Amino acid sequence: MSCPRALENVRVVDFSWVRAGPWATRWLGAFGAEIIKIEWPENERGRLPSTTTPQNLEVDLNTSGNFNDTNVNKKSLSLNLRSAKGLEIVKRLIAISDIVIENFSSRVLQKWGLGYEELCKVKPDIVYVSMSGYGHTGRHHHYTTFGPVAQAVSGLTYLSGLPDKLPAGWGWSYMDDTGGMYGAMCALTGLYHRNMTGRGQHIDQAQMVSSVPLNGPALLDFTANGRGSRRPGYPPGNRAHWPGTPLVNSYRGPTVAPHNAYRTDPGGYNDWCVIVCHSDAEWERLVQVMGDPSWATSSKFATVTGRLQHQEELDDKIEAWSMTLGKYELTERCQAAGVRALPVQSSEDRVEHDPQLRHREMYLAMEHPALGRHKVQNAPFKLSATPVSNHLPSPLIGQHTREIVEGLLGYSHEELCAGFADGTFWPTKRARFPYMDEMLR
């Protein structure tokens, strides 16, 4: 590749697993940092269990589709950190690295002799990012999370759903995705600070804690106005306000109607479109798009307060119209007239039908040695001087062990072979993958 990359010559030692940590380092890798993932098959979590292995392949450590998408742009070093030799090797690697990222439970790496204080001895300006559930300080630091629990405890789950129903919450580990964002943001911020001051630091990022600031306006409504979110009509589903309850902002923008999801033709599971009018002018344009039906020109819908008051009827009438159109056709008609509307898109819709994502090359195919050729998700931004790209498929477990141990760290080939024989680089009782035997030749 001829263009330089933003994080060229930055090396990251990545002790992270499952989703949040690997999602963080995936992006540092996309910016061009060298990501060295430290793995051990006996306590690996992220490759297995796999629910995303293609139906025609056997589930093993190298065939998880989701692992592949989450771990592009990385190399893998398999290493037993619970051995003195493994510890010595990883410290040698950290001594020539810039960033350490880990998402073990609080203080686990400290117990293994890889805490921040200890690593400062081998690399004084290391940027050390811990991504745990509750953080390394605070009385509940030993509590554990995964996405849905962090989301529940922090208030995020509660903000999603229909009034008087169960919380609908988030249908995935939003805080693994977003925790990953914070991990990458902390690493980059710490790296910038190091480049400017020469000093590294420890950054204690916590999944549950990072969720809380995402509820800012709801929290200020409570601390400044004394109004909590447990109140009639809240959360208001897809609406900005639930009819028949006190008019209060719902923390996702202006209080307006229409503001909802509507069924579209042919009425399948994901045949829905959302329509929002932020002003009377936008409403009038929607009325035009609907063909000026007589109900819509009624004065009760002419004002925003009227539309909010008669929202049930408004939504029923809009849906009767939206059911006559496919979601993409409805979107095009509305947007051409300057009305805010977009389809509810499933994963299939995004990959196959979304013209914008296609134009922006969001999903480009990449070859993986075990999985074959599949589309991989790209970055949501284009950088003019240092283009971002996926340049490596996810590593097979231990794929780069020789390259790193001999090439980067300068151990001899005999030492590599000895490390495989004594269980430093692979459990002695576990069958080796063919590419490992290849390394030992």
Partner 1 sequence: MSDAPGADAESLPGPLAGLRILELADEKGQFCGKLLGDLGADVVKIEPPGGERNRYVGPFLDDIPHPERSLSFWYYNTSKRGITLNLETADGRQLFGRLAATSDVILETFRAGFLASLGLGYESLRKQNPRLIMCALTPFGQTGPWRDYASSDLLHMAAGGEMASCGYDEADLPNAPPIAPGGGNAWHIGSHFAYMAIMATLVYRTVAGQGQYIDASIHEACALTTEAAIANYIYRGEVLRRQTGRHHAPGPTPRTQFRAKDGTYVTALVAGRLNPGYVKDLANLLDNYGMAGDLKEPQYQDPTVIAANTSHIIDDLVANFIASLPAEEVYHAAQERGFTWGAVRAPEALLDDPHLHDRRFWKKVEHPELGRSFVYPGEAAIYNDSPWRISRRAPLIGEHNTKIFCDELGLSRGELSVLAENRVI
Report, as residue numbers or ranges, the catalytic residues. 176
Q: Provide, rounded to whole angstroms, the least separation between the CB of residue 394 and partner 1.
A: 11
User: For residues 121-160, which are near partner 1 according to CB under 8 A?
Assistant: 134-135, 137-141, 143-150, 152-160
Distance CA 101, CA 104 (A): 10
Nearer to partner 1, 122 or 181 (CB): 181
Q: Is 248 in the site for partner 1 (CB under 8 A)?
A: yes
The pattern of x and - marking residues 11 through 40 that bind partner 1 according to CB under 8 A reads --------x-------x---x---------
CA angle 76, 81, 83 (to 5 degrees): 135
Stretch that binds partner 1, among 62-70, 288-296, 301-309, 396-404 (CB under 8 A): 62-70
Nearer to partner 1, 78 or 205 (CB): 205
Distance CA 406, CA 413 (A): 7
Q: Which of 96, 383, 421, 440 binds partner 1 (CB under 8 A)?
A: 383
282 SS3 class: helix
C-beta separation of 304 from 280 below 8 A: yes
Q: Which of 8, 42, 88, 316 binds partner 1 (CB under 8 A)?
A: 8
Q: Which of 83, 110, 255, 309 binds partner 1 (CB under 8 A)?
A: 255
Q: Provide, rounded to whole angstroms, the least separation between the CB of residue 228 and partner 1.
A: 4
Q: At what angle do helices 174-197 and 20-30 cross, to 10 degrees?
A: 50
105 φ/ψ angles, rounded to the nearest 5 degrees: -60, 155
Q: Is 43 in the site for partner 1 (CB under 8 A)?
A: no
Q: Is 385 in the site for partner 1 (CB under 8 A)?
A: yes
Nearer to partner 1, 278 or 432 (CB): 278
User: For residues 343-382, which are near partner 1 according to CB under 8 A?
Assistant: 343-351, 354-357, 359-360, 362-363, 371, 374-375, 377-382
Distance CA 156, CA 169 (A): 7
Nearer to partner 1, 92 or 263 (CB): 263
Distance CA 313, CA 376 (A): 44
202 φ/ψ angles, rounded to the nearest 5 degrees: -100, 130
User: For residues 188-217, which are near partner 1 according to CB under 8 A?
Assistant: 188-193, 195-197, 199-206, 209-210, 212-217
Which H helix or E strand runs over 201?
A: strand 201-206
Nearest to 208 by CA among 130, 252, 143: 143
Find the length of the chain: 441
Q: Which residues contact 56 (CB under 8 A, 6 or more apart)?
A: none
Nearer to partner 1, 191 or 405 (CB): 191
Q: Provide, rounded to whole angstroms, the least separation between the CB of residue 166 and partner 1.
A: 5
Q: Which of 65, 115, 398, 419 binds partner 1 (CB under 8 A)?
A: 65
Q: How many CB atoms lie within 10 A of CB 27?
A: 21
Q: Which residues contact 287 (CB under 8 A, 6 or more apart)?
A: 293, 296, 297
Nearer to partner 1, 85 or 141 (CB): 141
Stretch that binds partner 1, among 39-47, 71-79, 88-96, 170-178 (CB under 8 A): 170-178
Q: Provide, rounded to whole angstroms, the least separation between the CB of residue 290 and partner 1.
A: 17
Q: Is 391 in the site for partner 1 (CB under 8 A)?
A: no
Distance CA 190, CA 203 (A): 8
Q: Is 161 in the site for partner 1 (CB under 8 A)?
A: yes
C-beta separation of 131 from 183 below 8 A: yes
Nearer to partner 1, 94 or 256 (CB): 256
Peptide bond into 266 cis (omega under 30): yes
Stretch that binds partner 1, among 3-11, 88-96, 300-308, 408-416 (CB under 8 A): 3-11
Number of residues interacting with partner 1: please give it, by CB under 8 A: 159
Q: Which residues contact 372 (CB under 8 A, 6 or more apart)?
A: 54
Nearest to 148 by CA among 167, 181, 175: 175
Nearer to partner 1, 94 or 436 (CB): 94
114: its two tokens: 């890889």
User: For residues 266-325, which are near partner 1 according to CB under 8 A?
Assistant: 269-270, 272-274, 276, 278
Q: How many CB atoms lie within 10 A of CB 328?
A: 17
DSSP for residue 396: P
C-beta separation of 265 from 331 below 8 A: no
Q: Is 71 in the site for partner 1 (CB under 8 A)?
A: no
Stretch that binds partner 1, among 40-48, 89-97, 234-242, 293-301 (CB under 8 A): 234-242
Q: Is 333 in the site for partner 1 (CB under 8 A)?
A: no
Nearer to partner 1, 41 or 155 (CB): 155
Q: Which residues contact 219 (CB under 8 A, 6 or more apart)?
A: 155, 212
Q: Provide, rounded to whole angstroms, the least separation between the CB of residue 422 and partner 1.
A: 31
